[in-house]
């Protein structure tokens, strides 16, 4: 079994879910008392978010690359960045490592294409919804059509993530808003919707909507289990 590297803490709410899902996946595959071999560094998200708020992505990348190096030094055979948004600085992180990084968008695209879906909606932080590092990768590398919410609805999605979900706050009003936005994306032609922030699954699950959902946290964790056992 390979040792799975986790670069977490962004936020710890979803990193804790990664840890549980990966260990459950290993136990399901191997049985008995088996658990995952994991090396993890969990950062202080307050520090990262403050740098991000200044749009100093170079410094964000330097910080996360340094911490990713600590994960590799702890014995990881490959790395998961446990957040969609921070894939914006994946090049800096990859350049600091000798181990591979399991890209979250690639794992998600593989799951979508396995279902023969071509047009998807995307929810996440504004960075994830709008910028090429994630949405563009889905379009250009994986040939998917990607729909995003209106400007007003993007504000709602983004703010709920940072002001509520990253703090462990779950509000029914926010769930209703997200479901409205998902329905709107479906009415515009989305065959499914990517929950493109690792905290969104804390608020929205498949049981809440008939629209097919792609939970990136669950997909990424499952991909890690497969890779660790390959």
Query: Which residues form the catalytic set?
Result: 83, 197
**Closest by Cα among 88, 98, 175, 170 to 135:** 88
Report cis status (omega within 30 of 0) of the bond before 11: yes
- Residue 87 tokens read as 């894939």
3-state DSSP helix/strand/coil % of the chain, to nearest 5: 60, 15, 30
Whole-number Å distance between alpha carbons of 181 and 165:
17
Write phi, then psi, for 111 (nearest 5 degrees).
Answer: -65, -40
Inter-residue contact 166 to 199 (CB < 8 Å):
yes
**Crossing angle between the packed helical segments 104-114 and 216-229, to the nearest 10 degrees:** 100
Whole-number Å distance between alpha carbons of 130 and 147:
10
Whole-number Å distance between alpha carbons of 182 and 176:
10
Inter-residue contact 58 to 67 (CB < 8 Å):
no
- Secondary structure (3-state) at 206: helix
Phi-psi bin for 116: left (phi > 0), alpha (psi -120 to 50), beta?
left
């Amino acid at each position: 079994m390979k040792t799975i590297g986790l670069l977490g803490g962004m936020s710890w709410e979803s990193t804790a879910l990664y840890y549980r899902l990966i260990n459950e996946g290993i136990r399901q595959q191997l049985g008995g008392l088996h658990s995952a071999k994991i090396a993890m560094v969990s950062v202080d998200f307050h520090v990262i978010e403050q740098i991000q708020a200044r749009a100093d992505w170079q410094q964000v990348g330097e910080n996360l690359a340094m911490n990713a190096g600590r994960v590799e030094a702890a014995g990881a055979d490959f790395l998961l960045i446990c957040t969609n948004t921070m894939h914006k600085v994946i090049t800096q992180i990859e350049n600091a490592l000798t181990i591979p990084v399991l890209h979250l968008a690639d794992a998600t695209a593989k799951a979508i294409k396995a279902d023969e879906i071509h047009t998807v909606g995307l929810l996440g932080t504004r960075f994830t919804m709008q910028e090429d590092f994630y949405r563009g990768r889905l379009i250009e590398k994986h040939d998917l059509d990607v729909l995003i919410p209106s400007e007003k609805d993007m504000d709602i999605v983004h703010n709920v993530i940072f002001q509520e979900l990253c703090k462990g706050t779950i509000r029914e009003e926010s769930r209703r808003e997200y479901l409205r936005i998902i329905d709107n994306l479906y009415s515009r032609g989305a065959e499914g919707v990517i929950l493109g922030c690792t905290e969104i699954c804390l608020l929205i699950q498949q049981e809440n909507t008939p629209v097919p959902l792609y939970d990136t946290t669950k997909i990424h964790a499952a991909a890690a289990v497969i890779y660790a056992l390959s």
